[in-house]
Amino acid sequence: MQYCFSRFAHEFRSESATCYLNSLKLRPVYVQNEFALLLQDIYRKNQHHFFNAHELISQNRCYAEILKSLEEEKIIAASPEVDNVLHKIRASLPAPQLAIMYLVVTEQCNLSCSYCFMNSSLNRAKHPHRQHMSITTAQKALDFFCSIIGRSKGSFEEEKTIIIYGGEPLTNRDCVLHIPNQIQELKLRKMLPEETNSVINTNSTLLTEELVKAIKPSGTSISLSIDGGTAEFNHHRRYCDGRETFDNVISAINLLRQHQVNFGLSITLSEDVLLRADELLASIEQLNIQNIGVNPIIPSKDSPSSEQYSELVAQFIIKAYKRLHPLGFSEDRIARKIICFANAALYPWDCGAGGGRQVVVAPNGDVGICHGLIGERTDFVTRVDNLDFDPGKSEVFWKWRNFSPLCHHECEACSALGICGGGCPLRAYEMSGKWNSIDKQFCSHAKKTLEFLVWEYWRRLQKTAAQRERSTYETEAYSAA
């Protein structure tokens, strides 16, 4: 029988093995390099159009089982696949359906961080004054979110997240204290699902013991911004008058620990910090806070990142996993991909706004989809008073629904197609000036992460096989004795 390779088939080779993977099926098949080289020679001889199974099996009958596995995992096929495979996947992607709400309770901040994308957006704002959200608007925003998800009967009980954001949200203290209590009340009234998480995203410099005690009963988590475990790694994070923030942030961490409030770290990866990756990881390890998330900088045309930046980010995320995961740390960005790879599940969107799954409410009640566009109000489509708003009928939300590598023709030949998620649509726009372009800074991370996962899975398979063999040997030795 003659076979050809799927156009979604990819090959990874190491000194010990070769891995074949269909980028849409995500189930690796590992073979000996001897088999892979023989297959490569036969395929090349036939000008990369097909290969004959008999030529392989005549060399080694065991190769028949390998071919069977390759066919089962859609890596090879008896005839070229029709193009409707990807069309079916695109058509099966869900319509816009909300799972996340960002409540931007203020556009004001007490810091002046050099890389802040929110500040860059707000500097381009059409209105000159940076506003606070009123408690009335916050309540309307919660009602707006409840109204939309309440009409999604099939998905209402799925996990939802409400993020209290800024600016620095704690500059609007009254609003921040009001929202978590209201979320708890809405959960009791079954207007929000039980699995609704609330998170305050803060630089923590305004956090006091009184605030911590007030926030704790609601079960709200804190996402605390810090760029490493020493002051020198935080030199981009300064007060508006230039003073360092690090000591105040460490005081806030101690306060949260003392009162046992659930919190994690949000770490922005500036290039100068990445050049000292090992020192940075050592400092994070010393902080001993096990929930962390790393954020690549969003560049702009006026402030682009260097050519090496995306490589440094990709290397750092993998290095962080190797070093910190055995110690019990969890980094969210790579964890999402690990879960999808382990379950052979496609990962369409890495961004919450991607897929049309997110709303953002500005302090004045304007509603959009991406918090990074709050200044210009780009893709802000309605107001919190509009309780009849339906994301599934919004052209803007459908536009963002299609911001996935699975919908990009340019991405179809990429090995990381099924696991990428596409990165940040805003970052792609900032660098290209066009919507629906590719976040090329993210490509390196997706490809390197996939390759890492392929060989990490192989390493674990080998370890398991070795343990099984050793256990069998010990059992046999015991029986013989």
Which string of DSSP letters, residue by residue, matches 142-206?
HHHHHHHHHT-TTTTTS-EEEEEESS-GGGSHHHHHHHHHHHHHHHHTTSS-SSEEEEEEE--TT
pLDDT at 285 exceeding the cut of 50: yes
Query: pLDDT digits over 28-39, tens only?
Result: 999 999 999 999
pLDDT score of 142: 98
Cross-strand bridge partners of residue 222 = 200, 263
pLDDT band for position 469 (50/70/90)? Answer: low
Q: What is the DSSP letter of 411?
A: G
Query: pLDDT digits over 99-110, tens only?
Result: 999 999 999 999
CA angle 312, 449, 469 (to 5 degrees): 130
Q: Nearest Cα to 20, choosing from 74, 95, 83, 80?
A: 74
* Stated pTM of the model: 0.93
pLDDT score of 466: 77
Q: What is the DSSP letter of 408?
A: -
pLDDT at 51 exceeding the cut of 60: yes
Rg of the chain over all Cα atoms, to the nearest angstrom: 25
For the chain, give the percent of residues with pLDDT over 90: 82
pLDDT score of 83: 58
Alpha-carbon span 91 to 179, nearest angstrom: 37
Alpha-carbon span 405 to 355, nearest angstrom: 11
pLDDT at 324 exceeding the cut of 60: yes
Residue 97 Cα distances to 59, 165, 389, angstroms:
54, 21, 12
pLDDT band for position 303 (50/70/90)? Answer: low
Other beta carbons less than 10 A from residue 413's beta carbon: 11
Provide mean pLDDT across the span 196-220: 97
Place of tokens 């297959």: 39
Distance separating the N- and C-terminal Cα atoms of the chain: 51
pLDDT score of 476: 52
Alpha-carbon span 405 to 416, nearest angstrom: 9
pLDDT score of 44: 86
Alpha-carbon span 22 to 417, nearest angstrom: 10
Cβ burial of 315 (10 Å; 0-12, 13-18, 19+) is: middle
pLDDT at 460 exceeding the cut of 70: yes
Query: pLDDT digits over 125-152, tens only?
Result: 766 668 999 999 999 999 999 999 999 8
pLDDT at 184 exceeding the cut of 70: yes
pLDDT band for position 156 (50/70/90)? Answer: very high
Q: Nearest Cα to 246, choosing from 236, 234, 258, 264?
A: 234
Domains and CATH numbers, the chain: 2-81 (3.90.930), 100-400 (3.20.20.70)
pLDDT score of 430: 87
pLDDT band for position 474 (50/70/90)? Answer: low
Q: Which of 80-89, 178-187, 286-295 has the lowest mean pLDDT?
A: 80-89
Residue 38 Cα distances to 48, 261, 453, angstroms:
13, 58, 25
